[in-house]
A and B are shown apart, each in its own frame.
Chain A
């Protein structure tokens, strides 16, 4: 049944503020993709199983398909679109490119966001740390080998380290 009751909501996404009326059942993913045109965040399953829709909420990776937009008020949201502002890629994005971690690219935004959060929290992760951060992210193309390599490579050049 359509729900017409909407609530005014202010969202802070990639440092910009958006005001819009959303229905109580609308997920953050729907708002990002369908209302704001931020289609970089992908929906692979809509049920929290693939990790493609991962964004950062207050710096922590979350599944935007399982999060109601109304619960995100007054919280800082970061999406893939906010990662390469001014045309400069982050070390994680550069590593994914250079090490061949991208094939079809559909899981890539989610992987990049989760890896970015990991490296902020832990600039020197071991293989187990990387697995723990990315085990909820499905990739069907790469077998994960080059994704693992990319995160390890990005860690080496991560700014917080130097």
Chain B
């Protein structure tokens, strides 16, 4: 149905001009008259009972308008997950106990931050310090200090179990019996953080009509509205979360944070706007970081490398509350079963409470940790069997149309093509294991990794809806609840509307991410924007197109099947003189259809026939129809004197379905390579007994422009975009941060023969592996 003019093109960002000129308004930029500054008092203890809080002296500081503690709240708990099995477990302000250093105990609103900080110093809290535990394996032991009671359904004599995922596919014991070679290894990953540039920030303004307006740096306004309304005891109709640009999130700004609740409650108490902006030090010490996993993986293979059985155990350190711990242990199963055919698979994942700050998704949400383990082990197996790393991966890679253990169909799967093309592109066969570059101080190596990521799985609010309104001049307004966190949501949705209606990008106005004026949206996480919201936008624009065509058909006395849209007009195919402009058709519609101005309505939901999301406990239930695949290679140079590793080149062969905007796809890949590079070499949140030792960017080193990676891409396009037809475009925002980590580890082994079982890949570990230090 005609050529594509807008999707698949390197179209410039809709929000670009505002952002390069400094006009884009972020939550930190919201200026309201009479705004107060809010600050939060945090626990200095990792585990303690709160005996008393005395705010009397603090309230006397000039400029202090209100101080809140748990007593001022309704005592309603919230959680990243709130299901019957995993009920909410955290109060917005600590009630009777604190369970991590930095837990929110009280909040102050004052006329300026000096007064607010002074008040914080004067709040007296009496604590009874309790024994604490920080290591997840220690916390699991019976007799460990109890942070929360172990989950009642996990009867294994363990402590502090927040949740467990168990999944069995096939018969793993029988599978291992069939195997010619079996090995078991343990891999550990370390604590990293998102490093979003815009701090966590919220401005809340409780208006005299009872409406609470909120601007907050987030990944989607609807979940924030739901959780604010619930914890504040307000109807959702009284809470409006309004759009502000978001200065990066990467998984770190999804669910409710205490500062959001406190800004709202302080505004309700004072009837003035209240702003809370976290300091960078607070973000490093008290906010939610990523999810290290301990992964034990046992794999059985045939002599030719065919995987016959795999058994995995993961342990997650969820911190003092569940956070996304029970999600990451569930997802880790998905990251195991998706890329390779594993006929017999057993998986147990444990989420364990510790007295650390809470953990939350970070880009990839468990995939980097999991793929690092599986892909490193696969290379070890290949070496034992005398197989090439590409060969063993090709042998086990899934193919189009395969059914996964959860009942999902991978539909179009480009993994084999990713592997074949990347091998050719990098001359892998000649480089890997070659003696060249293996002598002298600096040694070179190449490695490969594979990953798969799924998008748009059911999670509140589960679906996206989009409205497309025609304006009198034939331009359109696109209303979407989607939140552009930098990934380009507004741009790609506009491209889709532009394509379906053949209307220039400049003539599409976007109204986004406002719980009051825009329809519901799944949110900018779970990698669902292009697929879920994109399809909703496609349907809404298609609805408009069909309405325009129906009007034109009558007016031009033509069959709708003979009509095409082009240049904001409906044309009769093959008759250049017979056409009507959109502006004319809108006027006609208003005239002839009792004032109907033409509004298109679209909605989309992944797994539309599934009643609910899959079980976090058993993994049963369908997830999505949207699986992206990739193979990545890393070429490294290891300095055998210092142990320092340099990433010389990263290549990503990706099957992201259909790239709606190749420039944005590249930007996503580059950003993920960079984040993975930080994961591999630079970044670590150092914690001692729950206290962050390096709470600044000077001591937590994120990649700078000097660490820019040489990043190349190979597109394996497995989807077509056809106007008016559903598409299964896959995700590109999270999947490419994983395989590259394993590829780097495998490349280091190829260079110097040092196998790494934990991240980060520090000079110390390399030198120890080389036997140069003990």
Residues of chain B lying within 8 A (CB to CB) of residue A131? 705-706, 708
Q: Which of A3, A42, A49 contacts B247 (CB 8 A)?
A: A42
B275-329 with Cβ < 8 A to chain A: 279-280
Q: Which of A98, A100, A109, A148 contacts B705 (CB 8 A)?
A: A148
Residues of chain A lying within 8 A (CB to CB) of residue B487? 103
Q: Which of A134, A140, A146 contacts B248 (CB 8 A)?
A: A140
Name the distance in Å between A100's Cβ and chain B's nearest Cβ. Answer: 4
Q: Indicate the member of A45, A109, A135, A146 with the most B CB atoms within 10 Å.
A: A45
CB within 8 Å for A43 and B114 given contacts A143-B671, A148-B705: no
Residues of chain B lying within 8 A (CB to CB) of residue A105? 15, 18-20, 24, 245, 247, 486
B13 and A102 form a contact (CB under 8 A): yes
A106 and B21 form a contact (CB under 8 A): no
Give the distance in Å from the alpha carbon of A50 to the alpha carbon of B197 in the complex.
8
CB within 8 Å for A138 and B697 given contacts A3-B114, A46-B279: yes
Name the distance in Å between B281's Cβ and chain A's nearest Cβ. Answer: 8
Give the distance in Å from the alpha carbon of A89 to the alpha carbon of B322 in the complex.
48
Give the distance in Å from the alpha carbon of A80 to the alpha carbon of B29 in the complex.
14
Q: Indicate the member of A84, A97, A145 with the most B CB atoms within 10 Å.
A: A145
**Chain B interface residue bracket vs A:** 35 or more
CB within 8 Å for A145 and B711 given contacts A2-B114, A100-B667: yes
Q: Please encode chain B, from 2 to 27, with 1 for each CB lying within 8 Å of some chain A CB and 0 for all others.
A: 00000000101101111111111110
A143 and B711 form a contact (CB under 8 A): yes
CB within 8 Å for A37 and B31 given contacts A105-B24, A107-B197: yes
B21 and A83 form a contact (CB under 8 A): yes
Residues of chain B lying within 8 A (CB to CB) of residue A141? 248, 486, 667, 671
Give the distance in Å from the alpha carbon of A2 to the alpha carbon of B110 in the complex.
12
Q: Is B664 an interface residue (CB 8 A)?
A: yes
Main secondary structure of the interface of B (DSSP, over half): loop
A50 and B22 form a contact (CB under 8 A): no
Q: Is B135 an interface residue (CB 8 A)?
A: no
B16 and A97 form a contact (CB under 8 A): yes
Give the distance in Å from the alpha carbon of A93 to the alpha carbon of B666 in the complex.
20
Residues of chain B lying within 8 A (CB to CB) of residue A38? 22
B17 and A2 form a contact (CB under 8 A): no
A41 and B118 form a contact (CB under 8 A): no
Q: Please encode chain A, from 136 to 154, with 1 for each CB lying within 8 Å of some chain B CB and 0 for all others.
A: 1111111111111000000
Q: Which residue of B lies closest to A80 (CB)?
A: B22
Q: Is A104 an interface residue (CB 8 A)?
A: yes
Q: Is B46 an interface residue (CB 8 A)?
A: no
A117-162 with Cβ < 8 A to chain B: 130-131, 134-148
Q: Is A71 an interface residue (CB 8 A)?
A: no
Q: Indicate the member of B21, B22, B26, B194 with the most A CB atoms within 10 Å.
A: B22
Give the distance in Å from the alpha carbon of A1 to the alpha carbon of B122 in the complex.
12
Q: Is B51 an interface residue (CB 8 A)?
A: no
A100 and B696 form a contact (CB under 8 A): no
Q: Which residue of A lies closest to B62 (CB)?
A: A2
Q: Is A112 an interface residue (CB 8 A)?
A: yes
A140 and B671 form a contact (CB under 8 A): yes
Give the distance in Å from the alpha carbon of A112 to the alpha carbon of B24 in the complex.
14
A103 and B667 form a contact (CB under 8 A): yes
Q: Is B145 an interface residue (CB 8 A)?
A: no
Q: Is A39 an interface residue (CB 8 A)?
A: yes
A104 and B247 form a contact (CB under 8 A): yes
Give the distance in Å from the alpha carbon of A52 to the alpha carbon of B26 in the complex.
14
Residues of chain B lying within 8 A (CB to CB) of residue A145? 670, 708-709, 711
Give the distance in Å from the alpha carbon of A80 to the alpha carbon of B25 in the complex.
13
Name the distance in Å between A86's Cβ and chain B's nearest Cβ. Answer: 12
Give the distance in Å from the alpha carbon of A43 to the alpha carbon of B25 in the complex.
13
Residues of chain B lying within 8 A (CB to CB) of residue A108? 19-20
Q: Which residue of B lies closest to A99 (CB)?
A: B663
Q: Which residue of B lies closest to A84 (CB)?
A: B21
Q: Is B246 an interface residue (CB 8 A)?
A: yes
B93-114 with Cβ < 8 A to chain A: 112, 114
Q: Which residue of B lies closest to A108 (CB)?
A: B19
Give the distance in Å from the alpha carbon of A146 to the alpha carbon of B10 in the complex.
14
Q: Is A44 an interface residue (CB 8 A)?
A: yes
Give the distance in Å from the alpha carbon of A148 to the alpha carbon of B702 in the complex.
17
Q: Which residue of A lies closest to B17 (CB)?
A: A97
A137 and B705 form a contact (CB under 8 A): yes
Q: Name A's B-contacting residues (CB within 8 A).
A: 1-3, 33, 37-47, 49-50, 52, 79-81, 83-84, 89, 93, 96-98, 100, 102-109, 112, 130-131, 134-148
A-B contact pairs, 17 of them (CB 8 A): A2-B118, A40-B22, A42-B197, A44-B198, A45-B280, A81-B22, A84-B20, A89-B20, A100-B13, A100-B663, A105-B15, A106-B26, A106-B198, A108-B19, A143-B674, A143-B709, A146-B666
Task: List 4 additional A-B contacts (Cβ < 8 Å) besides A141-B248, A146-B666.
Answer: A37-B31, A38-B22, A49-B696, A102-B20
- Interchain residue pairs A-B with the least CB separation, the first 6: A40-B22, A104-B486, A106-B247, A105-B19, A143-B674, A80-B22
